[in-house]
Amino acid sequence: MRPKLFTFILLASLLSGLAAQAQVGQVVQSEAARFRVTALVQGLERPWGGAFLPDGRLLVTERIGRMRLIAPNGAASAPIEGVPPVEARGQGGLLDVALAPDFATTRELWFCQAALADGGALTRFIRARLSGDDRRLEDVTTVLDAAPTQARGRNHFGCRIAFAPDGRYVFLTTGERYEMQRAQALDDLGGKVLRLTREGGIPADNPFTGRPDARGEIWSFGHRNPQGLAISPVTGSLFEAEFGPRGGDEVNIVQRGANYGWPLVTHGIDYSGASVSDLRTAPGMQDPLVVWVPSVNPSGIAFYDGAAMPGWRGSLFLAGLNQSLIRLAMNGDRVTGQEVLLPRLARFRHVVVSPAGVLHILTDESDGRILRLDPA
């Protein structure tokens, strides 16, 4: 049975008043944990994606087109060589990165970027290997371009990556590039969650495999701009977070072949104030698990299953570009509550958990930081 829709109606004044503004170096007592906010590193150019290596170093992307390794003491490496050119305009650039589950032996990683092609821009997914000396990417191969390319605009690239736990498949998100009708078109890769094999092929059990009127890579559709993707370590469900327009941000449990409604169904309105749709739900379309009105601007997400913060075990964390970190308390696939952390501290782009179970947050700033939430 699908979990009941959980709607958060948060006035801006209420959101800002939920807690005092946190500071770096400050100890924070939250509902379920006590922690100190530490700046691990500063001086990154809008860090966007991150993945921890088995040895505890953090591989991080900078939207301008750089990739670096950050040591546990905060030392940043020189930019890794071999990253292909990116279209670093608007919301585009070098975006997410994810390590294959067998990275320790294969050194394989996937990343995505905004790229130029055929007179326009699109979301591109790339597979590569990190060299043994960690200085460069090798065997760099374009796996998929989220066609068709689009000449106008540099927004809504989506671009998150999540490997299935067994490593056989990889899930990828694409935005509808601010052309809302693309999300409903099955012959178009924009506004979708995609599923590929590790080799980049189309799995035989994908919902639209073999249909002449649809792209076989599609796993679900009707998404606006999904920048959060994570698999629950408890239930194995695939969770996705996406931006609404004005209001209507969502968390979804992604199901095979499901239509998530955009723009035919939405809790948000257009930036102009005009209605996008009068429908909040409709037959044949999947309701979100969580909706926020007004927006919280959720970008990267991560489940917490570490030992450093026992009170956070099982929680889903969302990095909010509206300057807050959101914790959703979970019971299986059911949301049981929400906590807003670190209000007004920074624009948060992504949240990742270290092998030691310590939460790290990437800030969306030209003088970007990685903040670490240490037990206190």
DSSP bridge pairs for 362: 350, 370
Closest CA relative to residue 70, chosen from 39, 100, 91: 39
Ramachandran assignment for 39, one of left (phi > 0), alpha (psi -120 to 50 degrees), beta (any other): beta
Cis amide bond preceding 148, omega within 30: yes
Closest CA relative to residue 94, chosen from 82, 102, 106, 107: 82
Pairing of strands 290-293, 249-254: antiparallel
Pairwise CA distance, residues 242 & 41, whole Å: 28
Amino acid in the structure at residue 349: R
DSSP bridge pairs for 7: 291
Instruction: Return the biggest CA–CA distance within the chain.
Output: 57
**Residue with tokens 């489940």, as numbered in its chain:** 303
> Do the beta carbons of residue 239 and residue 288 sit within 8 Å?
no
Helix ranges restricted to H, the chain: 12-17, 103-106
Neighbours of 89 (CB within 10 A): 13
CA quadruple 321, 325, 326, 332: dihedral sign: positive
Query: Known catalytic residues?
Result: 156
Pairing of strands 290-293, 6-9: parallel
**What's the angle, vertex CA 326, arms to CA 321 and CA 330, rounded to 5?**
145
**What's the angle, vertex CA 306, arms to CA 303 and CA 309, rounded to 5?**
100
Ramachandran assignment for 151, one of left (phi > 0), alpha (psi -120 to 50 degrees), beta (any other): alpha
Pairwise CA distance, residues 324 & 221, whole Å: 28
